[in-house]
Chains A and B, each alone.
Chain A
Amino acid sequence: MAETLVKREQPEVAQVERTRSGVTYSPRFDIFETDDELLLFGDLPGVAPENLDVRFENDMLTIYGRVEPRHAQDECVYGEYGIGDFYRSFTIGEAIDTGRITAELKNGVLTVHLPKTEAVKPRRIEVKAG
């Protein structure tokens, strides 16, 4: 059941058409759920905070990070990875308190806190001795 709570919408290759040309990559994410919140950690190397767009709309969390080209003028001698923007979106099955969503980007790692609304938090039911 837990697996369906957070479902990946996009395949490995981002399909969204962008006005910017170039390749868009799907960043790697870890997702952790506690009683109070969903916690997402994403690897977005090369994305400056001002070039990062995180949105939560219609139960959909969308992350788009623009990456400035690096060494575009230099001659490439050897290459194992491509450089491009990052895009990924997740459908969030939990009720989220949108007003309290926070996100931070540090050393290329994005952390998003999606706090659950009070209504969906698990409650321990007191059982009285009868």
Chain B
Amino acid sequence: MLMTRWDPRSIWSELNRMHEEMERLLSGNGWRGFEFGVGFPALNVWKDDNNLYVEAELPGFELSDLEIVVTGDRQLSIKGERKQPEIKNGTWHRQERYYGSFSRMIELPESVDPDKVTAELKLGVLTVTLPKREEAKPRRIEVKAC
């Protein structure tokens, strides 16, 4: 899946996101989605010259709820669990948010140094920063005038 290369900023319409969301939900336990579908969480991957950045929206999680593992230098897996708040004596009118445990693994587009991977969870957004291996970094070739 990672082979596809496109710019979501130009192509991603709202409709697209909804469609993808539906597909992910349907692949799980139905649209009410009390449990995470197989494609949860949705991931975005960016890169610059030095790093790959894998991002996921994980509201309500703490870093301690997550297990982030890099296998070899090309595979990243994220596991976690979100528990439903225990409140009693009432009625649920809507339950649109996901609960339960999830596990997701992706193939990275470039080799990274597993020892230098860092993760940050801020405002419910997880960012995993994966420094590229030296050989994967782009090199500027000096062109000499002769």
Expressed in whole angstroms, the minimum distance between the Cβ of B4 and any Cβ of chain A is: 7
Bound-state Cα–Cα, A30 to B82, Å: 14
Contact with B55, one of A5, A23, A41, A71 (Cβ below 8 angstroms): A71
**Proximity string of chain A (27-58) to chain B, C-beta cutoff 8 Å, 1 when within and 0 when not:** 01111111100010111111110000000000
Choose from B17, B39, B45, B87 the contact partner of A78 (Cβ within 8 Å): B45
B96 interface residue, CB < 8 Å from A?
yes
Contacts A75-B47, A77-B45, A80-B43: A6 and B60 contacting too (C-beta < 8 A)? no
Q: Which among A12, A35, A80, A82 is the interface contact of B90 at CB below 8 angstroms?
A: A35
Cβ contact within 8 Å between B96 and A28? yes
Known A44-B124, A45-B58, A108-B125; contact A79-B8, beta-carbon cutoff 8 A = yes
Asked if A25 lies at the interface with its beta carbon under 8 angstroms from chain B, I say yes
Quick one: closest A residue to B2, CB to CB? A78
* CA–CA, A70 and B122, complex, Å: 12
Chain B CB within 8 A of A126 CB: no
Q: Render A3-39 as a binary contact track against B, CB cut-off 8 A, 1 for contact.
A: 1011010001100000000010100111111110001
CB-contacts of B112-142 with A (<8 A): 121, 123-125, 127
A30 touches B57 (CB 8 A): no
A73 to chain B: closest residue by CB: B48
The residue from A2, A28, A75 contacting B48, defined by CB atoms under 8 A apart: A75
Minimal Cβ-Cβ distance residue in B for A72: B9
A39 to B119, CA, bound (A): 32
Q: Is B97 on the interface with A (CB-CB < 8 A)?
A: yes
For the complex, is B53 an interface residue (Cβ under 8 Å from A)? yes
The distance in angstroms between the C-alpha atoms of A44 and B125, with both chains bound, is 9
Task: Kindly provide the distance from the CB of A90 to the nearest chain B CB, expressed in whole angstroms.
Answer: 9
A44 with B93: in contact, given A25-B14, A79-B45 (CB under 8 Å)?
A: no
| Cβ-defined partner of B57 (8 Å) among A35, A45, A75 | A45
Binding site for B on A (CB under 8 A): 2-3, 5-6, 8, 12-13, 23, 25, 28-35, 39, 41-48, 70-71, 73-83, 107-109
10 A-B pairs within 8 Å (CB atoms) are namely: A12-B14, A23-B13, A28-B97, A32-B87, A32-B91, A35-B90, A44-B124, A47-B123, A78-B5, A81-B20
